[in-house]
Structure 1
């Protein structure tokens, strides 16, 4: 699954026959016995035969399922998962049909999300079929079977899709809805004639029933977890291509399939790359990417095996509004979701404790594959940004280990965070660097072949990597995945003799909110390099201390190449030396140094103003991604000054003085042959300078917006979103009304959704209130309203949080259930008001289960940290600014 704001994805193994696809893993019984479960262990499903009749207009459906089960020990009852179902008939029969059981008593427990069928006599060990007729609900948010309404030039349309991860297959099928309960599936649907039905496997048969209905039956699936089943229905069109014997497709609403051309081409390239990398060919006959209008607060894409579901904004490239960043995101999503077809679909974690085996690996494959197949994008530096996302969350008291204990459905939903995704990815990158890329790949191949169609825990992977690499990976991996937190390597001393520099290193712990915390211990792989020297040195900091001899004499970069998951804190003398040679560092090490300095400065580990010194040392022709990161950091620092106009004005003069010359160098107009990273930097600079109040940029954005009717070149597609964002940010009532009218008139969902989001990005509090009120109406669309409220919270966190809580009954219906426990606290995340701490605590106490308050606690920790930065760090920044103004 691809998380947004961040990012997700999956694939499988080859056999060559339908029977082989359905084969079971020999290791499954023992894994089944070991797996965490919320259901009794006495019954196991092996195959589901599902038939549904959706009634889109009434948001309901009729269902029938026959499940082949193994009863593993005598029992008088069978318990499985369900939500919001009404059962009209339940039947149990032994294999062969002899000795049928009387209809059982049915007990539904909505809180536990189960149904229990109690029979009048014990069920002996053996094989049975459990058949149920039932009805269920179609939702309007991305949980279970749900509907999306969208505008077209021909009028309003409604499409149906499913989203089952993590625990929502139970909304469409009464089932053993847990990852270790793998089974095969045959799906049948009775649908309106003329609409296209899509599932994991190709259509096996289709029959016209008359009366405007058609029965569609799909081929049997491979053995897989319930959360990977998919069904989609609507007025779709499909384009296909062949890659390595697999039909790769894109499915979109009618009329826009051409906008998925790049996604189709990307999927072909990625599939071919992964067939080679994993050493196990993709086993299904087809791989579709299904595009859907709308949004979710939980995810952007989902790796259903053979039928990846992706919201349009993450899959389509609209020629009127899409940017270079959008194009790269489309590829990244494809790389992530297709990686899941192996890591997640073919081999699945046994329980949500090891979710990172899915998401960390898909994220890592996404970055690795983007860098390999599109070197012109120069995305290697993005690994530093990934690490920063993880460390920011990992350095506060509310963090958790990568491998985490999950007990409830809500806790499983909360496991989809930056620790799981980004720290997982960063740790994999570090370990791959430690054992070597070839050995790592060989270990991954062994893991895939050993556990295909089965379930695993993290140590299953470490065993295969160790066997391939011949290095003690498990102990290091355990340090970084079984305990939380961020190691900090102190560079305490450096001396040069005999052509080498000797470093004295010690290991501490980086924390943002616990200066007196007892330090944990890690075995940390460290790579160091003298600036300007090609040779590197490696060591394992073990037991808290190490000495390292580095070839050459001069300033030394620790964590050279930035593959390590740790902060580097240089002693003042070493920091001064490396800062003086900043322009000689490789771009990725410039970025690593800047990010460490930023984080350590705000946490009080070194002067906060050190970061500003590095900004001043950054030349205008530095790597575009360096300037993009600088722009983001200055924008972030500016937010700490909200509510203090005089101090903020001084900071903004400095920030604009640094960024404006870079924009002048890049220009507003794209140049022939311009590098792709420069195209992205242009949008970043315009956006940030607009937010910083640069009058020149604001005036130019307004000029272009006003001129678009008479000058088609005033707002090129590559800049349209950026210009609109600047205009919306500084909108007055008349401009806001004009943008609102444009949103109402727009018939393209991808563009319409963007316009409604922009209405929520205004800095004017009165207009922000209008956006909040608009979000409660039907106008923006059922899946856009929650996003509008979130957008308001970016500039007005206290306003948005208070509004959402005051209208919770309405807002709850606009947020997918998997997101609610973190949605509301997230609105207050950026607050600088101490009162927000009490508000979030009160919300959590009233509405979130005691064991599921990590999101609330994290939001509280972030608010407290922001207040601390404002009170304790900004004075030093002010002093530096006054000195350099």
Structure 2
């Protein structure tokens, strides 16, 4: 039996065809019993059956394999816990052909938010349990023995026994039969279509629901906490419209008779289970009176993402987790396509550049990984649910769609889904479908993007009327990699009317400007025959609208020209964003000076676009923290989505302490224009994006210690405490106000902290609780920060929300957070086990550090406390600390920073 230990995949001598599963959940004792009968096709001679099971107690006496009328009993039954594998050894070779494997088992409704677990809720002031499943990626084995790999597709017949009759019991398919016996009921569901085990789902709890249906009769329901059905209306309408959109886009109808979406109190993100999509409450519920515009957009992207999976992932499924990006990258990209169709006024394609930025940030590490990454053990899968699979995956899909054209791309996807419906695919299958319709060498083009990690930085300069392009692999550390890509280059000269594209296939390539663009560069610009009105074309922008997954470094002359058109708003918002994001990354990699970055920032003084300003805020906060030795590292994702707020770091270790006030003032100065334009009060008819931007700007001003902002926030907060229905604190600015209040909290002045805690404890809306949790640790007093960190580990904070609080830790609290993490590591690792949350703890606390001493301290701690499930995350976090330390040294060596900051802080227009 030892041959089955440590193997990445199950052997292929037995193929499951159909599961019949009976489960009896006990919500009081928090355990369950069950049995499974699996129609199994034995396809080669074997005395063994190997399948997956984890944290289950298997009744060996119940195990049997029946072929025709003969019953085979195993001579040995053993579970290899580290691998989650159940091995049955028989005394004789099993006959080839179909038989039935029967197994009885028991398990625990755990509190880890994976497998078959319990979530808690309150009803009539009484705490109750519900039972929920979360099987992706490899946790169906924690509910029932199965072939827990995406490729082992089968049908599923599910029966739930002894369910309290007053509770709602849901599964993937509609109820076929329900028998009530006193206070209990047995629920039998219709048999599912063929699908993978990670998509099986069960929810048992107390809910209200609202219902609608699509034009072709699919019943759509949103299940909400009792009394909160109104908060599901937005998601319900959105789901119906999204199913209609995808039916048309993929040219394939939704394949099940119903779609349920359920809000779960204890849950991480959302999960696309076939026909039964589960969400954490804040990702599904929207309260018209108390939810922010940003949350409305988050609900929209969450719903459109999960419903995209009903086709791309559920109907057509990746063969193995190496191809996870086929699911997640595509669903991320197409969620923007759907959201843009439903809410064009939100301009979400402009915001998509944030997705690319997240992918670029992670993929700039030497400890990154290819999109297609080998998985050698089930324990490794969790760590690739990251910005590479989701964000880089989505970005290269967008890059390819832009290159091939929208119509060709859509036709190819529809063909791909029709051809592979109900089966499993590899990345090459998607490339083949695209090649067939486009006639382009897609496989050759895209392999360089999926099979090697990283991306290029494209150097652009002009010499002797030639455009010179060079590609090198970009690393945030400043190192030089040896990767090479086939790069779809897009560019324009002086106007978007003069745009060109070509494939950069080599390390270097030169193009004659006049021949390629129809113009020539001169000292005062170039005149283009193709340019409308024969206007001067004095600038060149590469990577139009940031559709390419690469960075661009311009010569000093070209960058200076771009600064001018940024000020004039002659570039699109996505291009203004891209130039800023690239310059920031290049400065961190020490390929451009910080003085150069600061000069560029001044061009954004009158910026009003949400996406651009969000990036500007991120850059500024990061820069301030860099100078304070508490630099960068938490994902910019958190800043872009209003999940981070920092107090400006003190300048530590004698690092340019005389610049502290200049840094504050220069950054505040840059936000004055947008702050005055937006004001504190929502304006009638203002855009969705302005509503989101107001909170971002006010949060930034509070972070940088702007006294008028903090004073006004405090006034509004006091009025809010007296009257929770006051109009002075609308949802879009609450996060900013809460952060501002925490800036003046200390051990000797605890009023703001204790008042916010009271609001948290009284809040009934998950979104409001999250706002507060993400604000508390922004306090500059390390003692208060420690109290907040300890609060995160208490029963007052739900498990999925704990890591949120770490995203806001102030620069003054970074050292405290590291000490806290080490002191509580045993409890943290025991409570959260493996997976995304525990990795988030490590990344959030370690990544912002910025000294080589901290690298050594962290490394030595985890050598003594090894945790295999966070190996990749830990390496990435330590690399970020090393990058930060080098960056700080570089910034300290720039002697002209004071002059540049003075000009930025006190510039008179």
TM value normalised by structure 1? 0.91
Aligned to 1:405: 374
**Residue 713 in 1 paired to residue 727 in 2?**
yes
Does 99-108 or 864-873 show the bigger shift?
99-108
Take 1:712 and 1:493, find their aligned partners in 2: how far apart are those partners? 59
1:198 to 170, 192, 217: 170
**Residue 528 in 1 paired to residue 491 in 2?**
yes
Deviations 1:540-567 (A, max 9, x none): 1111223341243431111122211111
1:782 shift after superposition: 4.2
Aligned to 1:676: 688
Does 825-834 or 328-337 show the bigger shift?
825-834
2:824 to 791, 795, 807: 807
Q: Is the 8 A contact 2:8 2:375 kept in 1?
A: no
Q: Is the 8 A contact 2:22 2:36 kept in 1?
A: yes
Q: Is the 8 A contact 1:760 1:771 kept in 2?
A: yes
Does 730-739 or 420-429 show the bigger shift?
730-739
Aligned to 1:585: 571
Take 2:807 and 2:607, find their aligned partners in 1: how far apart are those partners? 36
Deviations 1:742-762 (A, max 9, x none): 333334444345434443443
Take 1:839 and 1:49, find their aligned partners in 2: how far apart are those partners? 52
Does 709-718 or 674-683 show the bigger shift?
709-718
Aligned to 1:312: 281
List gaps (5 residues or longer) in structure 1.
1-35, 497-501
2:337 to 357, 362, 368: 368
**Residue 131 in 1 paired to residue 138 in 2?**
no
Aligned to 1:42: 13
Aligned to 1:86: 57
Aligned to 2:633: none
Name the Cα RMSD after superposition.
2.1
Aligned to 1:829: 847
Aligned to 2:202: 231
The alignment covers a number of residue pairs equal to 839
Aligned to 2:482: 519
Aligned to 2:138: 167
Pair 1:747–1:390, CA change in 2 (3 A): closer
**Residue 638 in 1 paired to residue 643 in 2?**
no
Q: Is the 8 A contact 1:79 1:116 kept in 2?
A: yes
TM value normalised by structure 2? 0.89
2:193 to 219, 222, 244: 222
Q: Is the 8 A contact 1:37 1:178 kept in 2?
A: no
Aligned to 2:598: 612
Aligned to 1:486: 455
Aligned to 2:757: 740
Aligned to 1:655: 667
Take 1:660 and 1:767, find their aligned partners in 2: how far apart are those partners? 30
Pair 1:687–1:431, CA change in 2 (3 A): same
Take 2:294 and 2:54, find their aligned partners in 1: how far apart are those partners? 39
Q: Is the 8 A contact 1:360 1:422 kept in 2?
A: yes
Write the mapping of 1:796-875 to structure 2, written as runs, cut at 5 A. 796-815=813-832, 817-819=834-836, 822-826=839-843, 827-848=845-866, 853-873=871-891, 875=893
Take 2:811 and 2:337, find their aligned partners in 1: how far apart are those partners? 31
Write the mapping of 1:152-301 to structure 2, written as runs, cut at 5 A. 154-190=125-161, 191-210=163-182, 212-243=183-214, 244-296=216-268, 300-301=269-270
Q: Is the 8 A contact 1:492 1:506 kept in 2?
A: no
Take 1:849 and 1:686, find their aligned partners in 2: how far apart are those partners? 40
Take 1:753 and 1:152, find their aligned partners in 2: how far apart are those partners? 21
Deviations 1:65-87 (A, max 9, x none): 11111111122221211111112
1:155 shift after superposition: 3.2
Q: Is the 8 A contact 1:72 1:126 kept in 2?
A: yes
Take 1:794 and 1:106, find their aligned partners in 2: how far apart are those partners? 54
Take 2:819 and 2:473, find their aligned partners in 1: how far apart are those partners? 36
Write the mapping of 1:291-690 to structure 2, written as runs, cut at 5 A. 291-296=263-268, 300-493=269-462, 502-515=466-479, 517-548=480-511, 549-551=516-518, 552=528, 553-582=537-566, 583=568, 584-620=570-606, 622-640=608-626, 641=628, 642-644=649-651, 646-690=658-702
**Residue 699 in 1 paired to residue 711 in 2?**
yes
Q: Is the 8 A contact 2:63 2:104 kept in 1?
A: no
Take 2:899 and 2:41, find their aligned partners in 1: how far apart are those partners? 72
Aligned to 1:18: none
Pair 1:460–1:649, CA change in 2 (3 A): same
1:681 shift after superposition: 0.8
Q: Tell me, what secondary structure is at the counterpart of 2:146?
A: coil
Pair 1:586–1:742, CA change in 2 (3 A): closer
1:217 shift after superposition: 1.1
Take 2:761 and 2:402, find their aligned partners in 1: how far apart are those partners? 51
1:815 shift after superposition: 1.9
Deviations 1:111-165 (A, max 9, x none): 1211212222221111111111110011112111111123455332322211111
List gaps (5 residues or longer) in structure 2.
1-6, 519-527, 529-536, 629-648, 652-656
Does 233-242 or 631-640 show the bigger shift?
631-640
Q: Tell me, what secondary structure is at the counterpart of 1:69?
A: strand
